[in-house]
């Protein structure tokens, strides 16, 4: 969770306030209705800015996970050296533990960007679980770090101990990877909002996979998607001086991502959740799943 304005394609404190006042209450109410427990990943930036967000989530019985210090591209884990990564992880872990009163052991990288040093950084800072790999997902070069993310194609689909020097291979490190669910297309709320028919097909495919091999379904959604900022004049901020990066990762991507924002996203999410309720799924946090399966 961060201060991302999907409408304006930028980070800003004002959006974080709307998440606190509008987006988070909507999402927590949905989860309360279905008795869902989930893992919420916070950047240190938004947690320090609005600690009430963290406290709301803890009060509702959900897990707090680390999302790094901030969502700025310069703070992506695939571009920071080891010591810098450890510094960001230590900072965010301590901050979230101070606010929540709970130990933080689960991490998801901003924009899912990691490198081989991130494994050591996580282990050395007391993190036991990562969920930054989206096995067999292809981002169509519309996200930052998309070249490195091509390695997702070969990553295991089930939770696994990662290799000591490769996030995308099984190994004997103590770090557990719980991959996000995907199959070529992302299985996330953005896809749900943009292409609800595709999501309807996806959920059935992943349900069959779960029946066959008991693989967990890991779905990614943000409270930022339940807020409406369309009253503001839309200016697409340029985050890179490279024209192609601006074209694909800012201009085209931002135009796609605004469909069904705000209250229009609510019934779509209810429909998705009801599918899993009707198929008798258990909704749990990443930490509790790992404990139940004896992974930690």
Q: What is the rounded CA–CA span in Å between residue 110 and residue 135?
A: 17
**Residue 251 and residue 219 in contact, taking contact as beta carbons nearer than 8 Å:** no
Q: What is the rounded CA–CA span in Å between residue 118 and residue 139?
A: 21
pLDDT of residue 268: 98
- Residue count of the chain: 296
Which domain, by its residues, includes 131?
A: 4-292
**Tens digit of each residue's pLDDT (9 = 90 or more) over 149-177:** 889 999 999 999 999 999 999 999 999 99
pLDDT band at 257, cuts 50/70/90? confident
Q: What is the rounded CA–CA span in Å between residue 152 and residue 169?
A: 10
Q: DSSP secondary structure string, 25-93?
A: HHHHHHHHHHT---EEEE-HHHHHH-HHHHHHHHHTTPEEEE--S---GGG-TTTS-HHHHHHHHHHHH
**Helix or strand or coil: residue 16?**
helix
pLDDT of residue 240: 61
Q: Say how many domains are in the chain.
A: 1
Q: What is the percentage of the chain residues whose pLDDT exceeds 70?
A: 91
**What does residue 43 show for φ and ψ, rounded to 5 degrees?**
-75, 155
pTM of the model: 0.92
**Tens digit of each residue's pLDDT (9 = 90 or more) over 105-159:** 999 999 999 999 999 999 999 999 999 999 999 986 656 666 788 899 999 999 9
Identify which of 105, 129, 119, 219 has the alpha carbon closest to the alpha carbon of residue 168. 119
Q: What is the largest CA-CA distance in the chain?
A: 51
**Tens digit of each residue's pLDDT (9 = 90 or more) over 71-106:** 999 999 999 999 999 999 999 999 999 999 999 999
- What is the CATH classification number for the domain harbouring 18? 3.20.20.370
């Amino acid at each position: 969770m961060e201060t991302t304005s999907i409408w304006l394609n930028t980070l800003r404190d004002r959006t974080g306030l709307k998440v606190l006042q509008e987006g988070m209450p909507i999402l927590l109410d949905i989860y309360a209705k279905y008795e869902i427990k989930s893992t919420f990943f916070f950047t240190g930036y938004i947690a320090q800015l609005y600690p009430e967000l963290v406290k709301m989530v803890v009060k509702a019985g959900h897990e707090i996970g680390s999302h790094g210090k901030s969502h700025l591209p310069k703070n992506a884990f695939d571009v920071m050296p080891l010591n810098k990564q450890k510094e960001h992880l230590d900072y965010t872990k301590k901050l979230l533990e101070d606010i929540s009163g709970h130990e933080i052991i689960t991490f998801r990288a901003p924009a899912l960007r990691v490198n081989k040093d991130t494994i050591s950084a996580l282990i050395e800072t007391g993190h036991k679980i990562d969920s930054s790999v989206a096995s067999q997902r292809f981002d169509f070069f519309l996200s930052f770090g998309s070249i490195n993310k091509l390695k997702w194609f070969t990553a295991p689909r089930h939770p696994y101990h990662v290799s000591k020097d490769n996030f995308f291979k099984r190994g004997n490190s103590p770090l557990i990877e719980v991959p996000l669910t995907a199959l070529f297309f992302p299985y996330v709320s953005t896809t749900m909002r943009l292409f609800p028919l595709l999501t309807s097909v996806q959920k059935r495919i992943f349900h069959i996979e779960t029946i066959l091999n008991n693989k967990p379904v890991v779905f990614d959604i943000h409270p930022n998607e339940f807020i409406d900022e369309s009253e503001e004049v839309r200016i697409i901020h340029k985050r890179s001086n490279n024209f192609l990066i601006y074209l694909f990762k800012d201009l085209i991507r931002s135009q796609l991502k605004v469909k069904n924002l705000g209250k229009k996203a609510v019934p779509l999410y209810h429909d998705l959740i009801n599918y899993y309720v009707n198929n008798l799924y258990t909704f749990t946090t990443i930490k509790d799943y790992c404990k139940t399966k004896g992974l930690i």
